[in-house]
Amino acid sequence: MAGRRRAWRSSVVGLCLLLASLTGCGGQSGTDVAKDEVQRVLDRRAAALLDHDEAAYGATGSRAPYEHLRAVPLASWAYRLTGLHRGGATATADAELRYRVQGYDKAPVTADRTLTLKLTAGGRWYVDSDRPARKAGQQLWDQGTVTAVRGEHSLVLGVGQSGDALRGYARLADRAVPAVSQQWGTDWSRRIVVLVPDSLEGMAGLLGSPASSYRGIAAVTTGDAGGSGKAPADRVTVNPEAYALLGDVGKQVVLTHETTHVATRAHTHAATPLWLSEGYADWIGYLGTGRTATRAAPELARAVEDGHVPADLPADKDFGFSTDAVDLARAYEGGWLACRMIADRWGEVRLGEFYRAVGAHEKRAGAVEDALKKVLGTTPEDFTARWQDYLRAQLG
């Protein structure tokens, strides 16, 4: 019996050794071992970036991202490996990057990344490249070395821009934040992050869409609607080509408009029509500029002068970036004048209350109707008729 037990144990040990040679130590497969090793490399890489340890960062792979990111004030930076595709001494890794900008992001921004790696002669994984995953938008540092300028209420990050140019954006943003707070209130972060790429194509790369979608658009604000408190800070992304064509007043209007979107994000939901969210942002943007209605709404003024008063308030589809430029301008102008009418007829405080009341609904159906009744004491039909009369009076 003892001999049979020894033979049995010998067979088990031999089987275990065979499995270990096939799957790696601890019962892990070779792929699992490689995943663990790559994850540790990414952890070391992230720690070195946060510690501003260029030598340690370089020991894990290419130093180019470190140079591009050096000026960005990071509070956190971490990768979570989601997949590894190995081919001998090389590998492609899928990872989720999570990072926070110090003092601005409430929660980590997430970005899908694809990294290429190779094994060194010493048997260590080395990161060759780190780029956006397929169909994912770029991060600003993917486009080059980032320059950072801090304002009183803003952080401006740019690529291919001079320090003087970025300081100009910061000055405009710093004026926009208190201007928005004066009308909307202070129940928001009162800080904004502005991204300034070097071209329209750079803007499109950050937003993950074709450049044609943003031609003529000076800036776009991105962020999660609804303000859960967990969403990261919004980003105001500038199209430097369209922005450069604006005068001083126009540049300030644009930054104040986009800042309004940041401030109102927590109260902007699926229930909020674009004529209200865009119109309100323009209303605050134009305050104090002295712009008359006909000067600020030239396309709609031409239509009204020709006897073509819109039958309805602008629909969401009218605000699409692919919409005809004249029709898009009329949609923005119509939304602005609707909000201006509320401020003139019911008062500026009521306008803010109306915005919040609409956003308090989870769904579009009934949201505007309910807010019109409770806040303004009117109906959709009456409001539309008043708006049409207002257009004739202001633009005719």
Q: Is residue 392 part of a domain?
A: yes
d(CA 140, CA 238) in angstroms, rounded, equals 12
Residue 12 phi, psi dihedral angles, 5° rounding: -65, -45
What pLDDT was estimated at residue 117?
98
Q: Is residue 68 part of a domain?
A: yes
Fill in the amino acid letter for 178. P
Average pLDDT over residues 93-115: 95
Token duo for residue 111: 């970005």
Domain boundary among 136, 158, 174: 136
Q: Is residue 81 part of a domain?
A: yes
Same domain, 178 and 196: yes
Same domain, 237 and 299: no
d(CA 27, CA 25) in angstroms, rounded, equals 5
Same domain, 192 and 285: no
| Residue 106's pLDDT band (cuts 50, 70, 90) | confident
Q: Which residues contact 240 (CB under 8 A, 6 or more apart)?
A: 161, 196, 197, 198, 199, 200, 202, 203
Q: Is residue 355 part of a domain?
A: yes
Q: Is residue 6 part of a domain?
A: no
**Per-residue pLDDT tens digits for 288-341:** 999 999 999 999 999 999 999 999 999 999 998 778 899 999 999 999 999 999
What pLDDT was estimated at residue 69?
97
**Total number of domains constituting the chain:** 3
**What's the sign of the alpha-carbon dihedral 86, 87, 89, 90?**
negative
Q: Where are the alpha helices (DSSP H) in the chain?
A: 2-23, 30-50, 54-58, 64-69, 163-184, 200-207, 240-244, 248-264, 274-286, 293-296, 298-305, 325-345, 348-359, 367-371, 380-395
Fill in the amino acid letter for 176. A
Same domain, 124 and 216: no
Domain boundary among 213, 235, 263: 263
Tell me the residue range of the domain where 52 lies.
23-136
pTM summary value: 0.89
Same domain, 346 and 298: yes
Average pLDDT over residues 214-236: 73
Asked if the model's pLDDT at residue 20 lies above 70, the reply is no
Same domain, 373 and 276: yes
